[in-house]
A and B are shown apart, each in its own frame.
Chain A
């Protein structure tokens, strides 16, 4: 059966670590960097569980700073 596979690219320097994408993701893909910060001192978002992403764009829709690019395809 064809299965949706997704991936996101976070603009790490634009991200403010607000956590809203982490909360919005239905598949538990995202997390905030626990230690690493960007140039402005924010713990930016990243794919902690990349294999779980379905490319639904929920994270990108709620992101207040438009930091997230979403990619989606089907695996046959």
Chain B
């Protein structure tokens, strides 16, 4: 069988969703952000939710999310995405409203907005990219940075006496009465990508059904900030990040 007998339109089983446009994404090679952008575009396209969706993009490496996924977006000030999403969803209750935020955005400057939106049970989905670092600004420590992890601001590794403990946001949010679905996923293998996709679909459905706040944490890599190759960063994530941030559902009501 020749290659040309295989590469025919009727045999296509996977291709880039058209909602992910042709603009080259600015992310470093191998960055988890790209995989999650692709999943969001894929879901909205497959489910036909593109016209219903309004995304709120963060400050952080994902600041340009609106350039790549062709839906309606609003760009929030640093950490304020859940506050903006609250207003949007209350004004347009039939929309699918989600935020897309890094750990610096969501778990440092925006901790208050995150917790209070979830505690109020706002009908939004929060996609949380936890790469345990401030990727965009050059790899500084984040609240989520692991103990012993070297960053630009913890060159000898994070220390409890100086820097406190890593903050597990999903556990916190799962305790709040307003959250309906809290899950931790990853995108480092084909199976993990499929599970993460199902989790984001569920979170989007909850937003439209008005069931409360959904949080999908994606334990991610920042290979540039971690100073590793993308493949090494995946292995390091499995070995170290999954201990503090174990994969699985924390709450599903």
Contacts and interface: CB of A to CB of B under 8 A. Distances in A.
B14 A57 contact: yes
Interface residues of B, number: 37
B190 A61 contact: yes
A18 interface: yes
B6 A5 contact: yes
Interface string B225-248: 000011100100000000000000
A14 B14 contact: no
Contacts of A68: 14
B29 A42 contact: yes
A72 B28 CA distance: 30
- 5 smallest CB-CB distances across A and B, nearest first, come from A64-B34, A18-B30, A16-B29, A18-B29, A66-B16
B8 interface: yes
Contacts of A62: 35, 187-190, 193
A16 to B, nearest CB: 4
Interface in B199-253: 229-231, 234
Interface in B8-37: 8, 11-17, 20, 22, 24-25, 27-35
Given A69-B12, A71-B12, A57 B30 contact: no
26 contacts: A5-B6, A7-B3, A7-B6, A16-B29, A18-B30, A19-B30, A19-B231, A20-B231, A23-B231, A23-B234, A24-B189, A57-B13, A60-B15, A61-B193, A62-B193, A63-B35, A64-B27, A64-B30, A64-B38, A65-B38, A66-B20, A66-B34, A67-B16, A70-B13, A72-B6, A73-B5
Contacts of A5: 1, 6
Nearest to A50: B3
Nearest to B24: A14
Contact of B11 (A42, A67, A73): A73
Interface of B: 1, 3, 5-8, 11-17, 20, 22, 24-25, 27-35, 38, 187-190, 193-194, 229-231, 234
B11 A72 contact: yes
Contacts of A67: 16
A71 B11 contact: yes
A60 to B, nearest CB: 4
A12 B101 CA distance: 30
Contacts of A6: 6
A8 to B, nearest CB: 9
B194 to A, nearest CB: 7
Contact of B30 (A16, A55, A61): A16
Contact of B229 (A11, A19, A58): A19
